[in-house]
């Protein structure tokens, strides 16, 4: 499948991936991340049950402590 | 431009947290002429805060929201400041920032940043949230940036985490606070639409 991650087109093996699997494969390493799939915010407790597939647009930004 | 800036007088902006980001961002918005600020924090001013937060030595020991309200009014006597001395959880965020067009996320801890982003997205899809992420240390001017995900803007370098080796230092903290304040002005003065589908990436 081909998806867009942070404005870059990437090819992944398989037809679907959970948000959790995708983040692991994309090396998003910090514990807290804002994730949107096709513009909708995905909460942390939804990472296992929301799946992305061909053509989806994923945006992920690390949240870093400090203020 | 003068008539545009008149719009700021009728604008209400929320400031969630009154530390390094919140106190500096609120001060920039007050100077620019924002008419009403809703500020919230549970903490008191300490001497250690003076390395980057917009307080003064004679305010040590006072509630941050009270001290900040006083400083904002010293700069702009016409500003309306609504000060909330409390811990912000999801319920408080919904109650306190109800009337704000834009909410500035100015917490320290990343889990609190995520909490307010999720809460605002869920309860207030028509409001904007302008968050800070990655501001520790010094240098790296050109790594500071702003990214938009619909109604969410994130300002900072997205990678420098505060630690003993990488403390939050005044210039970079204030720079990110100023990016946040500048983004608030663009949202208000250019009437940005929160539900715009296409997001902007700068690379």
Summarised one tens digit per residue, pLDDT across range B104-122 is 999 999 999 999 999 999 9
Q: Is residue A44 part of a domain?
A: yes
Neighbours of B125 (CB within 10 A): 12
DSSP type of residue B62: S
pLDDT bucket at B4, cuts 50 / 70 / 90:
confident
B113 contacts A63? CB cut-off 8 A: yes
pLDDT of residue A17: 95
Q: Is residue A25 part of a domain?
A: yes
Count H helices and E strands in chain B, helices first. Answer: 6, 7
Q: Is residue A31 part of a domain?
A: yes
Token reading at A36: 């949107």
Average pLDDT, chain A: 92
CA distance B156 to B176: 6
* B197 near A CB under 8 A: yes
pLDDT of residue A28: 86
- Residue of B146, B153, B199 lying closest to A7 (CA atoms): B199
pLDDT of residue B3: 82
pLDDT of residue B42: 98
Q: Is residue A38 part of a domain?
A: yes
Domains of chain B: 7-189 (3.40.50.720)
> In the predicted model, is pLDDT for residue B61 greater than 80?
yes
pLDDT bucket at B5, cuts 50 / 70 / 90:
confident
CA distance B124 to chain A (A): 13
- Residue of B156, B98, B106, B105 lying closest to B127 (CA atoms): B98
Q: Is residue A39 part of a domain?
A: yes
Q: Is residue A67 part of a domain?
A: no
Q: Is residue A11 part of a domain?
A: yes
Q: Which of B160, B162, B197 sits opposite A39 (nearest CB)?
A: B197
Q: Which of B110, B111, B201 sits opposite A6 (nearest CB)?
A: B201
- Residue of B94, B23, B95, B9 lying closest to B54 (CA atoms): B23
- Look at chain A and report how many structural domains it folds into: 1
B110 contacts A30? CB cut-off 8 A: yes
Q: Which of A43, A59, A63 sits opposite B199 (nearest CB)?
A: A59
Higher pLDDT: A39 or B127? It is: B127
Higher pLDDT: A28 or B153? It is: B153
* DSSP alpha helix (H) spans, chain B: 2-9, 20-32, 64-75, 90-96, 110-123, 170-189
Phi, psi of B157 (to 5 degrees): -95, -5
- Residue of B177, B98, B191 lying closest to B131 (CA atoms): B177
Domain of A36, CATH number, reads: 3.10.20.30
Q: Is residue A24 part of a domain?
A: yes
- Residue of B85, B98, B113 lying closest to B176 (CA atoms): B113
pLDDT of residue B203: 43
pLDDT of residue A30: 78
């Amino acid at each position: 499948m081909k998806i867009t991650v942070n404005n870059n087109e990437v090819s992944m093996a398989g037809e679907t991936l959970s948000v959790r699997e995708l983040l692991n494969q994309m090396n998003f390493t910090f514990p807290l991340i804002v994730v949107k799939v096709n513009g909708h915010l995905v909460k942390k407790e939804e990472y296992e049950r929301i799946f992305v597939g061909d053509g989806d647009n994923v945006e992920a930004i690390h949240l870093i402590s400090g203020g | 431009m003068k008539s545009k800036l008149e719009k700021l007088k009728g604008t209400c902006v929320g400031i969630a947290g009154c530390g390094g980001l919140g106190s500096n961002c609120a001060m920039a918005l007050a100077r620019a002429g924002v008419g009403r600020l809703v500020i919230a924090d549970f903490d008191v001013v300490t001497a250690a805060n003076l390395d980057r937060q917009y307080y003064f030595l004679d305010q040590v020991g006072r509630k941050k929201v009270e001290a900040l309200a006083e400083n904002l009014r010293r700069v702009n006597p016409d500003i309306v400041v609504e000060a909330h001395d409390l811990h912000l959880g999801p319920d408080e965020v919904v109650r306190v920032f109800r009337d704000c067009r834009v909410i500035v996320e100015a917490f320290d801890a990343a889990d609190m940043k995520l909490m307010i982003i999720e809460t605002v997205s869920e309860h207030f899809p028509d409001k904007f949230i302008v968050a800070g992420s990655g501001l520790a240390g010094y240098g790296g001017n050109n790594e500071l940036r702003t990214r938009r995900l619909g109604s969410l803007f994130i300002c900072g370098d997205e990678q420098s985490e505060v630690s003993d080796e990488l403390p939050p230092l005044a210039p970079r903290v204030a720079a990110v606070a100023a990016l946040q304040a500048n983004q608030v002005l663009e949202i208000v003065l250019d009437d940005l639409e929160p539900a715009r589908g296409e997001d902007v990436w700068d690379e």
